[in-house]
Amino acid sequence: MSSSACVVRAGRGAAFVDEFLEQGFVGLGYGVSLGPPALSLSRDQLQEALRTAHPSWKDGRVRSAAGQIHRFVHDFAVGDLVVTGDPSRRLYFVGKVTSEASFAADVEVALRRSVEWTGQVSRDALRLASRNTLGSILSLFRLKDDVVADLQAHAQPLGAEVEPVVPGPASDDEEKESLEDLRESVAEQ
């Protein structure tokens, strides 16, 4: 994900979004049970460690969590764009990664990267294809250049009052493009 843009979810229902913004970080909770060693394990080692820590987890969940931890630790780079969202406010928050991955003890979101939050974007201002991509339920995923461009075109300063936007109807071409983007996003994961 070097020189890229990614979405990192702020937990189920954006439970940690205010913490992300106020404390200047993004993170994953999956690594809590693994401790600091999670920062140096390969994908296969992460899978084994997760199976040991969570024997009730099914293989798909183990593979998914290990992949997300591995990408979060090894594929981000300082300077990458990061996005998180808050569905209740219908906002996406945009920032830049400012640190390598670290482990914070005694917190729910233990795997962290520092972020300088710089802007916010109204979900309703975005194209349908961008809204669909950003609506993915994955905890961590890459963004394509067209979605990044859409976010940047509509970004406002962090904390600015966001005026309500009523999205217009999508054209047939935009709906087709949105479905193609969604299929590609799922296939990449």
Q: What is the pLDDT of residue 2?
A: 41
Q: Which residues have C-beta within 8 Å of that of residue 53, sequence separation ≥ 6? A: 33, 34
Closest CA to 110 of 102, 121, 118: 102
Q: What is the pLDDT of residue 46?
A: 95
pLDDT tens digits, the chain, 189 residues: what are they?
Answer: 345 899 999 999 999 999 999 999 999 987 778 889 889 999 999 999 999 999 999 999 999 999 999 999 998 899 999 999 999 999 999 999 999 999 998 899 989 999 999 999 999 999 999 999 999 988 999 999 999 999 999 999 998 887 666 655 655 565 566 566 656 656 655
Q: What is the pLDDT of residue 56?
A: 96
Closest CA to 36 of 100, 81, 84, 79: 100
Residue located via tokens 């482990």: 103
**DSSP E strands, the chain:** 5-8, 25-28, 81-86, 91-97, 102-103, 111-122, 140-142, 156-157
pTM listed for this prediction: 0.83
Amino acid making up residue 80: D
Strands 5-8 and 140-142: antiparallel
Q: What is the pLDDT of residue 177?
A: 62
Q: CA-to-CA distance for 104 and 108, rounded, in angstroms?
A: 9
